[in-house]
A and B are shown apart, each in its own frame.
Chain A
Amino acid sequence: MPKNENNELNNTPTKNNALKKNQTKERTSKEGSKREILVVKDLKKYFPMGSAWIEKNKSYVKAVDGVSFSITEGKTLGVVGESGCGKTTLGRTILRLYSITGGSVMYDGIDIRQLSRRELTKLRPKIQIIFQDPYSSLSPRMTIGEIIGEAVREHKIVPPEEFRDYIASVMESCGLPSYYYSRYPHEFSGGQRQRVCIARALALKPDLIVCDEPVSALDVSIQAQIINLLVELQKKFGITYIFISHDLSVVEYISDEIMVMYLGSVVEQGYREHIFDNPMHPYTEALLSAIPIPDPEAKKTRIILEGDIPSPANPPKGCKFHTRCSKCMEICKTVNPVFKEYEEGHGVACHLYPQE
């Protein structure tokens, strides 16, 4: 089993192990078996609040509170939720852009939490991120070529003499003409900037890309172009995506699996068909019914959630959703439901379904 091998390697992650790991990866992909590229177990990220030096009374914002999932290679996991539910924090914690408070993130058998700074830098090309706002995530003082090439040069992805050709080829695969090399970000529209961001991530030949709301700042027609590009690149290079978005219709289109988050924890997870055809959690039902359908004749019963998402600094007791739930019971106010699988690959955390 390749997985066990990886676990063994995990105990002493060194430079050599990374090489060995790559060999095992090639082997497994040749066999065509489904390989879990990222396994996240009980991940926690707490942000301290108030004066940090009075240790005893320290309180926390529990942005991500016990999230577990795994992704198969070449698939897309969609993460949905309202703003403030911790989906962006989750994406950044996986990359260790935020330090991990608890739990583990296993990338290909390597525990990201245990890595030293140097080892983490070695791993960086494998996991990349595309940020939400293409206007603020590109340095205005660097040309497009420099932006895309900076990390390529740093990680020595290609020999220096092939550098320019390589950048041009990456740009072309993202739909950017290669003569844009020496232009500056301000000369481009939002859609083209987002292409630059994608090219920057893609230039490092990553296995996993965390897409943090890549299309929410774009127009509808440009949005479709970017989604098509992402899907096309996935087919071509077999990249795995974690696609974070609040737009359910985009997530439905692009994802294989979907995870619904509420106040830092997962309320429902399953394959796309499960979530959209048979939503089990009341929150998922409400989210789905809230999507506006571009058809004036479509009539549907809408579940409108009352109020706002509660503050993650002071979440409600029991089930976190009970304050807005239409099917709230007595037990919901005291006991936090356990996440349980009810079908193959379809789990939910709700008291409506038998907990034992």
Chain B
Amino acid sequence: MMKIKERLDKRKARNKELNKHYISSKDIKQTAKENHKIIRAMERKNNRRNVPEEEYLTTMRDPDNIVEFDDLHAFFYTDSGVVKAVDGVSFDIPKKCIVGVVGESGCGKSVTSLALMKLLQSPQGQIHSGSIRYAAKDGKCYDIANVPKIDMNKIRGKEMSMIFQEPMTSLNPVFRIGNQLDEILFLHFPGITKEEAKEKSIAMLTLVNIAMPDKIYSAYPHELSGGMRQRVVIAMALSCDPNLIIADEPTTALDVTIQAQILDLLRDIKLKINGSIMLITHDLGVIAEMADYVVVMYAGRIIEKGTAKEIFKKPMHPYTVGLQKSIPALNLNAETLYTIPGNVPNPINLPDYCYFKDRCNKKFDKCDGPYPKLSNVSESHKVACHLFTEMSEEFAKIKAGGKNAKK
């Protein structure tokens, strides 16, 4: 008898070790119940109607910015736990600039942009806390995180619009291109006639350099090539003269030659609409060519941000350095490419120390401490790494000293 019991205990202990992340159905039910409560409260707030505008109007911290993310938290309440997809992100998009957001898949770069558009997969995807301030064309300033769903329809498309990664899936295969282009105009300009809408749509198609726009207007998406489809999607995004365009991996599904065409077009369009672009991509080459400011994300947090020159010429965080070292184009003579060992940590069970510690080649005893703060090392360059605490302290002293001296 004893022997069997011993053996069973041993097996249990072994199984427990093997299935560290195992969740019993009881636990799942419990978390689902808790999540349901939280989600319902949030959804109720989101679905309100006739909310007075004052409730979600704020003022910008800096009038030169078009968007300010301030300590944004966007969570997904899943049955196996809360996924903190975006965990305290704050950065600005200045007017008439291109801001690039880089990171591996699953680092939260797309979720940040979807939170800005309020397109998070609801009900489980919710903006938990923080604010997104957006300066509209008419001088008002909205706090996107508090805008109810109904009122968001007025902002989305007209004030800011999005270009998605896969042009085939973002166009409806059963409607003609013209139909889909006109639809936005009918929504945002009530009272517009069919002829006017067609005229405007064709003008948009010409703007994105599509040859024979009349013909394309009455074509179906499947008749076009990948590059043409992406142009149509860009035309659609532009049709209400938005201030801000969010391009979520606009060239990932395209060939190099078509990618060059589309990037050229985006640069052109930025000048034409006189607005800003938030460019999300994992291709550092594209970022280097397009962006004025770069934000590097890892596991839902910003680890480094600065101007493009700073990020590419003086990268500081070991992750940014590693990313650049692992590009084949820059390391042709290297015997083996530099690799960052391991994988991105599981977003449900994130550690309480620096998320990058387990993959880092420069870790030291301080890294076991709390997650490093994002601090300035120069006027525009910020890093979240324990390696640079001294440097940032020095910079802070100089800055404070400079201010005092002026006074």
Contact = CB atoms under 8 A, between A and B. Distances in A.
Nearest to B264: A304
A228 B322 contact: no
Task: Report whether over half of chain B's contact residues are helix, strand or loop; otherwise say mixed.
Answer: helix
B255 A246 contact: yes
B337 A224 contact: yes
B60 interface: no
Contacts of A221: 104, 322-323, 326, 339-340
B336 A294 contact: no
A307 B263 CA distance: 14
Given A253-B332, A302-B260, A308-B258, A292 B228 contact: no
Interface in A272-301: 286-287, 289-298
A145 to B, nearest CB: 17
Nearest to B104: A219
Interface string A306-319: 11110000000000
Interface in A306-340: 306-309
B286 to A, nearest CB: 5
A69 to B, nearest CB: 22
B338 interface: yes
Q: Which of B226, B257, B284 has the most CB of A within 10 A?
A: B257
A231 interface: yes
Contacts of A227: 328, 337
Contact of A291 (B264, B313, B329, B338): B329
B337 A293 contact: no
Contact of B228 (A222, A252, A308): A308
A264 to B, nearest CB: 16
Contact of A249 (B263, B309, B327): B327
Interface in A228-280: 228, 231-232, 246-250, 252-254
A295 to B, nearest CB: 6
A294 B330 contact: yes
B324 interface: yes
A227 B328 CA distance: 9
Interface residues of A, number: 43
A249 B336 contact: no
B206 interface: no
Interface in B268-323: 282-289, 291, 308-309, 312-313, 322-323
A189 interface: yes
B377 to A, nearest CB: 19
A68 interface: no
Nearest to A308: B225
A63 B72 CA distance: 50
Contacts of A287: 256-257
Nearest to A300: B289
Contacts of B340: 221, 224
A221 B313 CA distance: 19
A21 B282 CA distance: 47
Nearest to A226: B339
Contacts of B338: 224
Given A220-B104, A223-B326, A293-B329, A231 B336 contact: yes
Interface residues of B, number: 45
Interface string A199-228: 000000000000000000001111111011
Nearest to B340: A221
Contact of A252 (B256, B284, B328): B328
B20 to A, nearest CB: 13
A55 to B, nearest CB: 29
B228 A249 contact: no
A307 B323 CA distance: 33
A83 interface: yes
A188 to B, nearest CB: 10
A133 interface: no
Nearest to A179: B18
A228 B329 contact: no
A295 B312 contact: yes
B309 A191 contact: no
B340 to A, nearest CB: 4
B222 to A, nearest CB: 13
A294 B339 contact: no
Given A221-B339, A308-B258, A249 B329 contact: yes
B259 interface: yes
B172 interface: no
A287 B258 CA distance: 10
A350 B115 CA distance: 51
Contact of B289 (A293, A304, A308): A293
A103 B258 CA distance: 32
Interface of A: 82-83, 189, 191-192, 219-225, 227-228, 231-232, 246-250, 252-254, 286-287, 289-298, 302, 304-309
Among all A-B residue pairs, the 5 with the closest Cβ atoms: A292-B285, A224-B326, A253-B328, A249-B329, A290-B260
18 contacts: A192-B343, A219-B105, A220-B283, A220-B323, A221-B322, A221-B340, A224-B326, A224-B328, A224-B338, A248-B256, A249-B328, A253-B337, A292-B259, A292-B289, A293-B288, A304-B261, A305-B260, A309-B225
Interface of B: 104-105, 211, 225-228, 255-261, 263-264, 282-289, 291, 308-309, 312-313, 322-324, 326-332, 336-340, 343
Given A189-B343, A304-B260, 5 more contacts: A220-B326, A227-B337, A253-B337, A308-B226, A309-B225
